[in-house]
Amino acid sequence: MATDREVEQQLGDQVTHVVRIGNTVRRPVRPFTATIQAYLGHLRDRGFCDAPVPLGYDDAGREVLSFVRGEVPVEPLPAPATGMDVLRSLARLIRRLHDAAEGWVPPPDAVFGGIPGGRPDGLEPLFAAPELVSHQDYCPGNVVFRAGLPAALIDFDLARPTTRVADLANALYWWAPLMHPADRAPSLADADIPARVRTFADAYGLDRERRRVLTDVALARSRNALLTMAAAAEADPVFARWWEEGLKAKLPRAEAWLRSAARPITDALLD
């Protein structure tokens, strides 16, 4: 129990009971907690200081992490969080994460988190073999800004083995964004998405081979997201609410729009 000097402050959207106590964050322990703590420790050892520091467990049996200071944008993204400078900063942040993560071998008993509902039939493979473990959930609520630019990442619950391209496709979905214009922030409704994707790839330093497959991976990810979120809605009331409040229409729109935009995006990447 927190003392008078350790007042618990609720964080987040109530999906997970997360509290701040001083300069720490306390979270319920889940099956994947030990694996993610080991991963975060590796990142820290490799010099990546833009993520929570794992601090073990408290007397109440909760996971303890360092509190990451900064501002977290909410959807729809405010106009200052949609500039090209934001894209460049985020791409460089993810590149530093990838470079630090590369080479980490999960322990034999590693457990990774996932969306509830299991693995539905029909999912398309995004890669032949994973290259590294990475974040895989770059929604605005997981990106911490300082001085108006992305500076750190939080909430690694969905971190798992992936590839650089698949991880970047996740980030681009949220931040290019790879969505139908009707579902974007107002300042991005008429944005030049191919140019934004090219700017992100340039800032990351993405090589030509990966640029060639990025759009195909993003399309497969988009099709998989519809199946995955439909299964999650069947399995979990929180996801069911999100599904009914818009995801069941938003995800098909995104996939259809991306199919129509795939060639211009690839052309911009390779130009």
Q: What is the CATH number of the domain that holds 225?
A: 3.90.1200.10
Confidence of residue 202 (pLDDT cuts 50, 70, 90): very high
Does 143 have pLDDT greater than 80? yes
Kindly tell me if the per-residue pLDDT of 212 is higher than 70.
yes
Q: Is 127 inside any structural domain?
A: yes
Instruction: Give me the pLDDT at residue 15, please.
Output: 61
Same domain, 149 and 113: yes
Sign of CA dihedral 149, 24, 52, 217: negative
Report whether pLDDT(210) > 80.
yes
Query: Residue 125 gets which letter from DSSP?
Result: P
Q: Report how many domains make up the chain.
A: 2
Contacts of 99 (CB under 8 A, 6+ apart): 46
Please check whether residue 73 lies inside any domain of the structure: no
Per-residue pLDDT at 13 = 58
Q: The tokens of 175 are what?
A: 């931040």
* pLDDT tens digits, one per residue of 42-70: 999 999 999 999 999 999 999 999 999 99
For the record, the structure tokens of 104 come out as 């980490």
Whether 132 is covered by a domain: the verdict is: yes
Per-residue pLDDT at 11: 78
Let me know whether 106 and 43 are in one domain. Answer: no
Asked whether residue 4 is assigned to any structural domain, the reply reads no
Q: Identify whether the C-beta of residue 39 lies closer than 8 Å to the C-beta of residue 159.
A: yes
Which pLDDT belongs to residue 12?
Answer: 65
What digits encode the pLDDT tens for the residues 244-255?
Answer: 999 999 999 999
Verify that 21 and 85 share a domain, yes or no.
Answer: no
Residue 177, φ and ψ in degrees, nearest 5: -100, 160
With respect to residue 74, please indicate whether it lies within any of the assigned structural domains.
Answer: no
Residue 58 sits in the same domain as residue 85: no
Q: Which residues contact 253 (CB under 8 A, 6 or more apart)?
A: 179, 180, 182, 183
Domain range for residue 185? 79-270
Lowest mean pLDDT, pick from 1-5, 42-46, 182-186: 1-5
Share of the chain above pLDDT 70, in %: 96
The reported pLDDT for the residue numbered 14 is 52
Mean pLDDT of the chain: 95
Q: Average pLDDT in the 63-87 region?
A: 97
Residue 194 has pLDDT above 80, yes or no: yes
Same domain, 61 and 84: no
Q: How confident is the model at residue 30 (pLDDT cuts 50, 70, 90)?
A: very high
Does 220 share its domain with 87?
A: yes
- Rounded to two decimals, what is the model's pTM? 0.95
Q: Strand pairing partners for 134?
A: 160
